């Protein structure tokens, strides 16, 4: 029993898979449209309900018309047959001639007094043979095949003066037409016995009338469904117009058009929605303007302060150089103070430079000086410059990326230098691996260290300004806390993406992916974000990465060659 159930389950699963493979290309787009569009759902449900109602009404009308037509024709046939039978019996009763001539006279009388020319007259089966009994006669051979044993038995029982049966008349060319066959009995003179009279009524004209009614109803139903569909579509467009207007206004607001508003809809309920939406948009626009004003003031303040600090900083640096030149004759404590002063002056200069760079990005005043650059050579230059400062072994793996791409080499060099410097800072003396690879759409550089790593909560803030995973750690290469934030902006202004992966106790991996030109909008990074040999966990990015999209920048770029 269990094996039979398992076979049934497997067959059912296969059938479901086949149905899915067959129906998905056909029904997949409609299902997606059904889930997304309320208008489609409304029109579909209305169409199904209306079509069901039209179908029920059409079936009822056709059934009623067909039943009425058939009943009326049947009653007319019975009355006609009764009238012809009475006329034929009167002829037989009044006939005084020879018996063989009586049957043709009866047949002619039936044809003259009825509306049908299909007459079949025969001696009733089961009677004793009689020498003077007239022979059977018929006007059409198809009547011989139409008489069924049931009708013969019913006539022989003499339970009613008339018996009828629905039959099909087959013509010589093979066509079949519906009809009614009415049977009755005639009493011939003594010696001849009882004869069965069959009169056939062809209902082909009734069938043609019913077919015409069916075609008319079908055309009417199709026209009605089309009219109802158009009406539902128009009404849906009218009803959903305020919703489309609200959606369009919200999209314009999201796109940055602060003056987007929802028009009035000439409806008391939707006008309340329009007024509320427009009030919200006005409030939002006022707040955005306030924030823009504050942001401009902040950017101007940072820029002005940075510029104003350069003059005293230059003076302090010159004084520090003078003190360093005469530090040989000073006591050890003063010599250390002069050394610390020079170090802090250099760090202060770096901080001012980073602040100025951040203020340019915030203000949208960024100038790219692009040129054809080999990223492999650029990465090797950066690593050669930092290798003397690193206690770790730094390996450069060039899997690709030898073809030049159009970038600003100063900014890309700053990104790579920052990533390698961070790897040295947090690598705990472990090996550092710099990998370059490329594909048809993008070039990527990854910097992998084997240091302390970061937790997931810290990884979310790694590109924040002035953020440090462990503020208590001592810096060996200096730093201002703005390096990764500037690196991310440098990557974005090129249309690229800077990503980070890290795990506590294993290390970190930073990946820079740059598209090959401005025409590339979607691309796949040629390098994995999760290093090889590291098992992924829930929440980790996929090792191969997915499709990346060029980030939309709110800053204005002035490219210069």
**Long-range contact list for 518-521, CB < 8 A, 24+ apart?**
520/441, 520/442, 520/495, 520/550, 521/549, 521/550
Radius of gyration of the chain (CA): 50
In this structure, whether the domain defined by 261-363 belongs to CATH 2.170.150.20 is answered with: no
* Range with lowest mean pLDDT among 3-12, 269-278, 547-556: 547-556
In this predicted model, what pLDDT tens digit does every residue of 521-530 receive, in sequence order?
A: 788 889 998 8
Give the list of residues 6+ apart from residue 449 with CB closer than 8 angstroms, or none. 392, 423, 424, 426, 427, 430, 431, 432, 433, 507, 508, 509
CATH 3.30.450.20 segments of the chain: 20-254
In sign, the C-alpha dihedral spanning 25, 30, 33, 34 is negative
pLDDT of amino acid 512? 92
Nearest to 491 by CA among 480, 500, 501, 503: 500
pLDDT band at 559 (very low <50, low <70, confident <90, very high): very low
**Long-range contact list for 127-132, CB < 8 A, 24+ apart?**
127/193, 127/194, 128/193, 130/191, 130/192, 130/193, 132/99, 132/191, 132/192
Residue corresponding to tokens 């997304």: 36
User: Rounded mean pLDDT of 127-156?
Assistant: 81
The model's pTM is 0.47
540 vs 341: which has the higher pLDDT? 341
Of 3.30.450.20, 3.40.50.300, 3.40.50.1700, 3.40.630.30, the CATH number of 20-254 is 3.30.450.20
User: Rounded mean pLDDT of 289-299?
Assistant: 75
* Range with lowest mean pLDDT among 338-342, 421-425, 444-448: 338-342
Nearest to 512 by CA among 426, 425, 419: 419
CATH 1.10.287.130 segments of the chain: 261-363
Give the list of residues 6+ apart from residue 455 with CB closer than 8 angstroms, or none. 504
Q: For domain 366-560, give the fold.
A: Heat Shock Protein 90 (3.30.565)
Instruction: Look at residue 510 and tell me whether its pLDDT is greater than 80.
Output: yes
CATH 3.30.565.10 segments of the chain: 366-560
Please report, rounded to a whole number, the percentage of residues in the chain having pLDDT higher than 90.
7
């Amino acid at each position: 029993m269990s094996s039979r159930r398992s076979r049934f389950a497997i067959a059912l699963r296969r059938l479901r898979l086949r149905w899915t493979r067959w129906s998905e290309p056909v029904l997949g787009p409609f299902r997606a449209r059904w889930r997304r569009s309320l208008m489609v759902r409304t029109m579909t449900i209305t169409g199904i309900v209306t079509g069901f109602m039209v179908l029920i009404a059409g079936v009822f009308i056709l059934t009623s018309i067909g039943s009425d037509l058939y009943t009326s024709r049947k009653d007319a046939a019975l009355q006609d047959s009764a009238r012809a039978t009475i006329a034929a019996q009167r002829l037989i009763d009044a006939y005084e001639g020879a018996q063989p001539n009586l049957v043709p006279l009866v047949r002619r009388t039936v044809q003259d007094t009825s509306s049908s020319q299909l007459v079949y007259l025969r001696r009733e089966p089961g009677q004793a043979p009689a020498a003077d009994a007239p022979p059977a006669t018929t006007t059409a051979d198809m009547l011989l095949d139409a008489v069924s044993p049931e009708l013969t038995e019913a006539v022989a029982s003499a339970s009613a003066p008339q018996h009828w049966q629905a039959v099909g008349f087959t013509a010589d060319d093979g066509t079949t037409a519906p009809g009614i066959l009415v049977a009755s009995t005639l009493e011939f003179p003594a010696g001849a016995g009882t004869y069965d009279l069959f009169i056939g009524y062809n209902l082909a004209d009734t069938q043609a009338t019913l077919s015409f009614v069916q075609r008319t109803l079908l055309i009417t139903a199709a026209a009605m469904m089309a009219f109802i569909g158009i009406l539902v579509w128009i009404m849906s467009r009218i009803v959903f117009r305020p919703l489309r207007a609200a959606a369009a206004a919200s999209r314009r607001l999201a796109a940055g058009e602060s003056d987007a508003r929802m028009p009035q809809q000439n409806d008391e309920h939707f006008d309340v929605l329009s007024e509320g939406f427009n009030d919200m948009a006005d409030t939002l626009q006022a707040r955005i303007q306030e924030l823009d004003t504050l942001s401009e003031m902040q950017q101007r303040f940072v820029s002005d302060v940075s510029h104003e600090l350069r003059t005293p900083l230059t003076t302090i640096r010159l004084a520090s150089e003078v003190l360093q030149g005469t530090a040989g004759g000073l006591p050890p404590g003063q010599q250390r103070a002069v050394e610390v002063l020079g170090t802090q002056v250099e760090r202060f200069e770096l901080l001012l430079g980073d602040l100025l760079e951040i203020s340019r990005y915030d203000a949208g005043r960024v100038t790219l000086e692009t040129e054809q650059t080999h990223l492999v050579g650029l990465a090797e230059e950066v690593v050669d410059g930092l290798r003397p400062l690193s206690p770790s072994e730094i390996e450069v793996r060039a899997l690709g990326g030898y073809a030049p791409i159009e970038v600003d080499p100063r900014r890309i060099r700053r990104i790579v230098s920052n990533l390698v410097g961070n790897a040295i800072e947090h690598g705990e003396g472990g090996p550092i691996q710099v990998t370059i690879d490329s594909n048809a759409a993008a070039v990527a550089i990854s910097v992998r260290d084997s240091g302390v790593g970061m937790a997931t909560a810290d990884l979310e803030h790694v590109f924040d300004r002035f953020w440090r995973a462990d503020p208590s750690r001592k810096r060996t290469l200096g730093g201002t806390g703005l390096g990764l934030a500037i690196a991310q902006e440098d990557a974005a202004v090129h249309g690229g993406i800077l990503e980070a992966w890290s795990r506590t106790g294993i290390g970190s991996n930073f990946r820079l992916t740059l598209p090959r030109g401005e025409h590339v909008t979607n691309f796949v990074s040629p390098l994995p974000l999760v290093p090889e040999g590291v098992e992924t966990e829930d929440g980790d990015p996929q090792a191969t990465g997915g499709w990346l999209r060029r980030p939309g920048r709110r800053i204005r770029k002035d490219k210069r060659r």
